[in-house]
Amino acid sequence: MAMRSSAVGKIITVLIIGAFVLFCWSVFFPHRYESTEVLSGEEAVNRSPIALPDAASNVRVATYTHWVAYSQYVRFEAPTPVCLAHAKAMTGQEPPAPKALDEDERRCFHLYFADGLPWFDTAHIRNGVVLGGGPSVPKVWVDTDRGIFYYQITD
């Protein structure tokens, strides 16, 4: 019986130390991922924090986590109707009629990426729609002229 309680004690000690190391790793070290090249196929599906439509191409992804802080960015190209349907699926909102977006509507901040995300170019949208937004609420832009879907969620 003493042998068994000794083994259980060792297992509990290892689990406690492992949990402490994992906690320290998530609290003290930020984790960033940015696709340096366009993703496609299985790699895009595996790296994307959101489901992608079958028609998605030229996928780019960036994620940041640091304990409770997080930010996720996804950009892909697809026919405009596919982008609009996906925007509705991501936000639960019916996309309004496309319009010319003003500077405030096109603005997107990339707080956790020092060089920004040049491929997340919402500032280049001329006509499109914007849905959602807010803390922990997805924000989606659709460039209806170029057929580009942009997704951002942040704490």
Per-residue pLDDT of the chain (155 residues; tens, 9 = 90+): 556 678 787 888 888 877 766 665 555 566 778 888 899 888 898 999 999 999 999 999 998 888 878 889 999 999 999 999 999 999 999 999 999 988 888 877 766 676 778 898 999 999 999 999 888 899 999 999 999 999 999 88
First to last CA, the chain: 50
Whole-number Å distance between alpha carbons of 130 and 137: 13
Q: What is the pLDDT of residue 79?
A: 98
pTM over 0.75: yes
Structure tokens at 77: 């190209």
Contact 34, 71 (CB under 8 A): no
Q: What is the pLDDT of residue 16?
A: 82
Q: What is the pLDDT of residue 70?
A: 86
Q: What is the pLDDT of residue 74?
A: 95
Q: How far is CA 76 from CA 63, 66, 108, 131, 137, in A?
A: 15, 25, 16, 16, 19
